[in-house]
Amino acid sequence: MRALILSAAVTVVLAGCGGGPNVKLYKNETFQEGAAFSKTIPLASGVVCRNVKRALLSQGYAIEQTPSSKDSPFLTAIKNWQPEDDVAVTLRMQVTCVHEDENSSTVFATAVEEGYKLQTVPGSMSAGVSVATVTIPSFSGRQLMLVRRETIQDAQFYGRFYSLVQQYAEAEEKGALPPLAEQKPTEQKSTSKR
């Protein structure tokens, strides 16, 4: 009887380790036209693609340029926040710019937000000889652990990004690029002799 109860308990525990229901979110993918992940800008690709980088840099993103073709630059841009002492958030954008024709380019962007939390992680130490090894808990440390990762679906987020790219590209076309940072007027000192 005792063996039967133990066997049932082990079965219940192992069934609980399955990780919950098997959710297949890919089945909800619609692949529809007009999604927020792209925008066609009616300007030459050289100008648009250059200003994708300008828009990201002007907002504090660090850029990692990955190998790509001359006509389709591919960028990964990263920005980090620490809203609380034990929480960190990373926003990672992947952007590519595609030449459509002489006066048109399409910018594709995907942003993924990752959340990290400082958690206690147990450690162990192993010791032994060739026949037997003993592992015992010996320490614990705190480490940032990934707790969530999500692709941003918000059309307004992407709309703000595309608007800034287009604003910079149009300004470059007119030869009037705005400064990347606020510049304070410098005081001019009088150099005349009395």
Number of separate domains in the chain: 1
**Residue 43 domain flag:** yes
Per-residue pLDDT band at 4 (split at 50, 70, 90): very low
| pLDDT digits 0-9 by tens, 108-159 | 999 999 999 998 877 666 666 666 676 666 667 788 899 999 999 999 999 9
**Residue 124 domain flag:** no
Judged against a pLDDT cut of 80, whether residue 22 lies above it is answered with no
What pLDDT, on a 0 to 100 scale, did the predictor assign at position 192? 44
Please tell me which residue, 11 or 90, carries the higher pLDDT value. Answer: 90
Judged against a pLDDT cut of 50, whether residue 164 lies above it is answered with yes
Residue 100 to residue 106: CA distance in whole angstroms? 7
Of 77-86, 123-132, 149-158, 183-192, the range with the lowest mean pLDDT is 183-192
**For the domain that residue 164 is a member of, what is the CATH number?**
3.30.310.80
**Residue 120 domain flag:** no
Please tell me which of 17-26, 56-65, 68-77, 87-96 the model is most confident about, judged by mean pLDDT: 87-96
Over residues 20-48, the mean pLDDT reads: 83
CA angle 143, 147, 151 (to 5 degrees): 135
Whose CA is closest to 79, among 58, 48, 97?
58
Q: Which domain holds residue 49?
A: 30-114+148-173
**Residue 36 domain flag:** yes
Beta strands in the chain, from DSSP E residues, in sequence order = 38-41, 62-69, 72-84, 87-101, 104-128, 133-151
**Residue 7 domain flag:** no
**Residue 185 domain flag:** no
* Torsions phi, psi for 65 (to 5 deg): -90, 130
What pLDDT, on a 0 to 100 scale, did the predictor assign at position 25? 76
**Residue 134 domain flag:** no
Per-residue pLDDT band at 23 (split at 50, 70, 90): confident
Q: What is the DSSP letter of 123?
A: E
Across all residues in the chain, what is the average pLDDT?
Answer: 79
**Residue 162 domain flag:** yes
What pLDDT, on a 0 to 100 scale, did the predictor assign at position 102? 84
- The two structure tokens encoding residue 61: 């993103």
Per-residue pLDDT band at 39 (split at 50, 70, 90): very high
